[in-house]
Structure 1
Amino acid sequence: MQNNNTQAVVRDDAPLPIPKPTRSAWLAVLSVAVGSFALVTTEFLPVGLLPSIAAELGVTEGVAGMLVTVPGLVAAFAAILVTIGVGKTDRRYVIWGLTATLILSNLIVFVSPSFPLVLAGRALLGIGVGGFWAIGGALGNRLVPPASAARATSIIFAGISLGTVAGVPAGAMIGELVGWRMAFFAAGSLSVLVLAAQVWLMPSLPTTQALTFAQLPALLRVQKARLGMLATLLVFIGQFAAYTYVTPFLSQTAGLGAKAISALLLIYGAAGFVGNLIGGWAVAKSVKNSLIATGVIMGLSAAAMPLFGTGAVGATVLIVIWGLAFGMMPISVQTWMFKAAPHAMESGGAVFVSTAQISLASGALVGGVSVDHLGVSSAMVVGGLFGLAMAGVIAAWARDDGQPLGKLHAVH
């Protein structure tokens, strides 16, 4: 007689349920993303306020450009020193501390009566920017389950991208309405809210590993990554040699008023957002071609400003084209570096951040020297030439799959 009583069979190969992130986890991610937005927005605030700052503090516009140069240089060292210095400290406390430097920096700038004190406040910002770029981007992997890590990371970097394209027009608009100091006060107020949200929402993020100086050169040992670092150096110098001084150019050479300039910077930011979307599509097709297109479009549009951007129509057209290239730039460079050395990005990430920040600071410095000695139009040309040089380097030495053709020699 057959026994009809059967037992349920448990299959060992049955798929395990994928854990879903909680609402509090997503709110923690959002607090980091808004923090990244506040940091990057503050970093670029002076670009849209340069003439007003220079006039009130009694310095040239080239010297005022140091407000972009100095935090970039400090950030370059902070990316390495903060990453190593925090050791195994709970990353929650590290992020709180970096956000606190942002609050203090904006407060110092808001109340300081002299350029040296304002510059000191901006230097403090560099610690927050460098530390966050090196540490904050990796938090998405820890705040949510692995299946949602990519989405969390993209949200955090969206804050960085939005701050990059929105910081300048936001600062210019606030500065036009209520003065340049209030732009920094607004950024500081936002930072207070961000810190409160992070203290409330972020869970404990202990770590068992500490980065050492011996691990830093990992990225530099990869030939394709070294080519990417050179491209980063050239395109960031070019971008910020020209962009740091775009407001004085639009005012002095194009003859535009403050409201028109604020509108153009807003258009530039909007074009940058579109460019970021285009860049995502372009790198999926070919990272090499995306980088070349970024360098060529940015280089030509910036260099053409003194020729065709001397009126409202020409300036608007070139600003839109330039903004598209600016939006493509971060995703093109970052994708190249990740594909070049995915195994070395965690240990070498601080080195890459330092390279980008040194390039940013150097660009503002090069542009400032050019402005003070050759006039504001020269900064546009110098920046454009650096962008074109980046496109030439990638076209000459990179394969279609991103592999360098051979040993990379000095560029002459």
Structure 2
Amino acid sequence: MSSDVCATVPDARPGEAGDAKPVPPEPVSSSWAAVFSLAVGVFGLLTAEYLPASLLTPMAADLGVSEALVGQSVTVTAVAAMCSGLLTASLTRRIDRRIVLLGFTVLLIVSNLLVAVAANIMVLLLMRILLGVALGGFWSMAAAVAMRLVPAALVPRAISIIFSGIAVATIVAVPLGSYLGELSGWRSTFLAAAALGVVTLVFQLFALPRMAPHGTARLGTLWEVLRRPGFGVGIAGMLLVHIGHYALFTYIRPALENVVKVDVDELALLLFVFGVANFVGTLVAGWLLEISLRLTLTLTPVLMGVAALGLALLPAGRAGYVALVVLWGLAFGGVSVAWSNWATRMVPDQAESAGGLVVVGVQSAIAGGAAAGGVMFGIGGVTTVFTVSGVVLLASALLIVLRVNAPRHRALN
């Protein structure tokens, strides 16, 4: 990995230049094998996170506890991911980034192995905390590491490939977990997830280059990053987009059953189509980001808002409703990619800290969106959820257009 080239920083507005710190130099060549190894890592982490959703009943029966208590394995993972996302940059600032990433993959393996042999719910929950540490840390570093694996012009494409692991996990984790659980038991499913982690670790050992630490992050750096001109407004826009989406996504099943009028078999197929559209959207976003970051940030919530309002208010017919669901999945595929790119461009000198704040924002929005959706669902059913969320998504797009800075990478000689 060469480091004898210029650094990249975003176009600065007056008064911003003094806030920036030295930026790690960009590479002169691309390390696509390393990029794909990170995508596999994201896939393994998200697959492990989603597995309990398809295995709650057998896990609860085997451990002698309620399904609600087993469901807390998802909650503790999310909370640990939030904490890890915030702390990783400062706690590991003196460690080679390759070692840190490999360490997170080891945590993934250990977590799945010990969940597979857990004798009681407490052991299981503790091991899911380990998974959360790996998940939040890995995610917070992903975009920053991409900046060190490919030249600046290719960073959007690299991040889209890395985050495609999320979309693939969304498609396969729940149905695959359910199938393997029925075939050989829930413990064997987690053993399979551990085996996937071992494959990932071997791939990363060969693919990831050494990446000497460049960070100066401390806990106070998070507050400094939030105070950078334009960063806080951008985080607010990101929160609105994610809250709008997750209020919708929490109630996707009743929406498809009551609005699109699908049966159980058709529901599974349509959810699969949604996941495939999400994966395609992730890759398309990488191409679109090379054209315009602002366009990508704005277009994704606009398309999701249109889809939500269409599902709630238009007599679109069954084919039209299916098309709106596909549009929704396609648009959301670009959201994580776009905002991760935005964070690295806004704060290239503290990209890992910025990534940690993005992780916390997304996890908070998941909880907030689900809670807000629950309130709206109780008031007026799925139509109210989709109408209000659609308006929130369109409002977030307006905020992005008017107030969110979308800088371009610029090389300094």
Q: Does the TM-score normalized on the shorter chain lie above 0.5?
A: yes
Query: For the residues of structure 2 that align with 1:113 and 1:380, how far apart are their CA atoms?
Result: 44
Deviations 1:134-171 (A, max 9, x none): 224333444x5x6x4654774454132x2222212202
Deviations 1:257-304 (A, max 9, x none): 2x5444223211221233235545655666455444322332353466
Determine helix, strand or coil for the equivalent of 1:179.
helix
- Checking the alignment, whether the CA contact within 8 Å between 1:84 and 1:213 is kept in structure 2 is yes
Paired position in structure 2 for 1:178 = 180
Q: Closer, same or farther in 2 for the Cα pair 1:184/1:388, shift >3 Å?
A: farther
Residue 385 (structure 1) aligned to one of 380, 383, 388: 388
Paired position in structure 1 for 2:166 = 164
1:285-300 aligned at under 5 Å gives the runs: 287-300=293-306
Query: For the residues of structure 1 that align with 2:266 and 2:317, how far apart are their CA atoms?
Result: 11
* Residue 59 of structure 1: how far off its partner (Å): 3.4
Whether 1:399 aligns to 2:402 is: yes
Paired position in structure 1 for 2:13 = none
Paired position in structure 1 for 2:193 = 187
Q: Closer, same or farther in 2 for the Cα pair 1:171/1:200, shift >3 Å?
A: same
- Checking the alignment, whether the CA contact within 8 Å between 1:283 and 1:290 is kept in structure 2 is yes
Deviations 1:154-207 (A, max 9, x none): 4454132x2222212202331443337365443322111111333344444332
* Residue 120 of structure 1: how far off its partner (Å): 4.1
Bigger Rg over Cα? 1
Amino acid at match of 1:256: D
Query: For the residues of structure 1 that align with 2:251 and 2:116, how far apart are their CA atoms?
Result: 22
Paired position in structure 1 for 2:227 = 221
* Residue 92 of structure 1: how far off its partner (Å): 2.5
Amino acid at match of 1:333: W
Q: Closer, same or farther in 2 for the Cα pair 1:52/1:300, shift >3 Å?
A: farther
Query: For the residues of structure 2 that align with 1:114 and 1:313, how far apart are their CA atoms?
Result: 47
1:255-334 aligned at under 5 Å gives the runs: 256-257=263-264, 259-280=265-286, 283=289, 287-302=293-308, 316-334=322-340
Query: For the residues of structure 2 that align with 1:116 and 1:312, how far apart are their CA atoms?
Result: 46
Amino acid at match of 1:174: L
Query: For the residues of structure 2 that align with 1:326 and 1:91, how far apart are their CA atoms?
Result: 29
Query: For the residues of structure 1 that align with 2:258 and 2:126, how far apart are their CA atoms?
Result: 29
Query: For the residues of structure 2 that align with 1:132 and 1:36, how far apart are their CA atoms?
Result: 8
Determine helix, strand or coil for the equivalent of 2:93.
coil
Residue 357 (structure 1) aligned to one of 343, 363, 374: 363
- Checking the alignment, whether the CA contact within 8 Å between 2:160 and 2:337 is kept in structure 1 is no
Query: For the residues of structure 2 that align with 1:249 and 1:55, how far apart are their CA atoms?
Result: 28
- Checking the alignment, whether the CA contact within 8 Å between 1:71 and 1:126 is kept in structure 2 is yes
* Residue 229 of structure 1: how far off its partner (Å): 0.3
Amino acid at match of 1:240: Y
Paired position in structure 1 for 2:243 = 237
Q: Closer, same or farther in 2 for the Cα pair 1:365/1:39, shift >3 Å?
A: farther
Give the gaps of 5 or more residues in structure 2. Answer: 1-26, 408-413
Q: Closer, same or farther in 2 for the Cα pair 1:235/1:68, shift >3 Å?
A: farther
Query: For the residues of structure 1 that align with 2:305 and 2:28, how far apart are their CA atoms?
Result: 47
Query: For the residues of structure 2 that align with 1:38 and 1:303, how far apart are their CA atoms?
Result: 34
Superposition TM-score, scaled by structure 1 size: 0.72
* Residue 370 of structure 1: how far off its partner (Å): 4.9
* Residue 332 of structure 1: how far off its partner (Å): 3.4
* Residue 249 of structure 1: how far off its partner (Å): 6.0
Give the gaps of 5 or more residues in structure 1. Answer: 1-17, 405-412
Paired position in structure 1 for 2:67 = 59
- Checking the alignment, whether the CA contact within 8 Å between 1:70 and 1:126 is kept in structure 2 is yes
Amino acid at match of 2:299: A
Aligned-residue identity in percent:
31
- Checking the alignment, whether the CA contact within 8 Å between 1:241 and 1:379 is kept in structure 2 is no
- Checking the alignment, whether the CA contact within 8 Å between 1:67 and 1:119 is kept in structure 2 is yes
Superposition TM-score, scaled by structure 2 size: 0.72
| Structure 1, 103-112 or 87-96: larger mean CA deviation | 103-112
Determine helix, strand or coil for the equivalent of 1:218.
helix
Aligned residue pair count: 373
